[in-house]
Amino acid sequence: MHKGESIISVAITVFVVLVFLAIQKKWNPAVLENMASSAEEFVLQTAGLRGQIPELPGYELVKQYSLGRGFRAALYRAAPSPLVFANYRFVIFDSNNKPVYKVDSVETSVSPWSKLYDYAGIHGIPNPRTGGYPLYSRDLTGDGKPDVLLGQYTGGDHCCTAVTVIELGESSVRVLGTIEGLGGMPFKGLEILSLNHGRAHDFVVRRPYQTGCGAQQDIADVISIYTYRDGKILDQTSHFTPYVSRVLQRDLARWKIPRNRSLRLLQTLTADYSAAGQSSMGEQFFQNHLSVFSSQLRANGIDPQLCIKNMASLMSKLAQDPN
């Protein structure tokens, strides 16, 4: 029997059982809904026997991953899928093909954004030079357990992606945290470093923030640093002032070269000052140099004084909520 025929056989069997049980329960809708959910889990667990990634009724397999420790993952797309956007489901399976993590998303039907970070690639994106040998899990927290990073489209407040850190245990997985508000495709704006030169790694994030001081290409890149603490991935930017200060000095060196000066770099520098605990100096720096872009602002119908107020509002927001 072919794999497709076996899936159909399993589905028919499940359907027959559901009908029989529903009759016994006098077609109680709540009971039937619970049984349908259980049936999906049953198909997920039984359809992937003999080392195969399970098939999911109503979905087609888009991508599969080998994570190590017996874990595997799969990205499914609803079938048939619409022309523009489609429903997706990302699932992690243990060595027994039991689903231990599941998340849904709505993404473009042609090229989904959901991806796992490839540690053998370049900034998480697969590198053709590795010869097709990706690495999707690595111990980032120093606790001896490998971690995977799932990037997905969110379309949230800051747009457009989030990265979820998932720890692989012996037979289960655990979500350590989610870093939201990254701009662009995964994993743009994310850098993994070991700032304390220990076993644990840190997540350096550059988020785009719109202030109303220019077009999309002029927005500020605001730095944040996440690290593993108390069993979770948390924003710990205030604990990394020396590193943020080095970033500030690096960006100031770029500013000293006239051809590098832009409204985007000016706003980014202002945010750097804030992250380094020098908000007042950042606002003063912004006001001192904004005149360079006065003609550009007025050409776009932007009042320079309103721009100054918008930047001050951003600094106040960052001080209250670094996320």
**Which pLDDT does position 197 carry in this prediction?**
75
Give pLDDT, residue 153.
Answer: 86
Q: Is the pTM of this model over 0.85?
A: no
Q: How confident is the model at residue 20 (pLDDT cuts 50, 70, 90)?
A: very low
Residue 94 pLDDT greater than 50, yes or no: yes
User: What is the pLDDT, as a whole number, of residue 215?
Assistant: 81
- The pLDDT of 224-235, averaged and rounded, is 94
Q: Rounded to an integer, what distance in angstroms lies between the CA atom of residue 200 and that of residue 144?
A: 10
Query: DSSP of 161-221, one letter per residue?
Result: EEEEEEEE-SS-EEEEEEEEEE-SSTTTTEEEE-TTSSSS-EEEEEEEE--SSS-GGG-EE
* Per-residue DSSP letter, 55: P
Mean pLDDT of the chain: 83
Among 7-11, 195-199, 307-311, top mean pLDDT goes to: 307-311
Helix axes 279-289, 263-275, angle to 10 degrees: 160
pLDDT greater than 80 at residue 14: no
Does 235 score more than 60 pLDDT?
yes
The helices-and-strands tally (H runs, E runs) of the chain is 7, 12
What is the predicted pLDDT for the residue at 321?
A: 61
Instruction: Please report the pLDDT score of residue 165 as a whole number.
Output: 98
pLDDT of amino acid 156: 54
What pLDDT digit, counting tens, does each position of 239-277 carry? 999 999 999 999 999 999 999 999 999 999 999 999 999
What does the block give as tokens for 176?
């350590």
- In this prediction, residue 103 carries a pLDDT of 96
Paired residues of 101 in beta bridges: 92
The predicted pLDDT at position 39 comes to 45
What percent of the chain shows pLDDT beyond 70? 81
Provide φ and ψ at 171, rounded to 5°. Answer: -140, 5
Query: Phi and psi dihedrals of 188, rounded to 5?
Result: -65, 130
Asked if the model's pLDDT at residue 50 lies above 50, the reply is no
Instruction: Examine the pLDDT at 323 and tell me if it is beyond 60.
Output: no
pLDDT score for 216: 80
Q: How far apart are CA 220 and CA 160, in angstroms?
A: 15
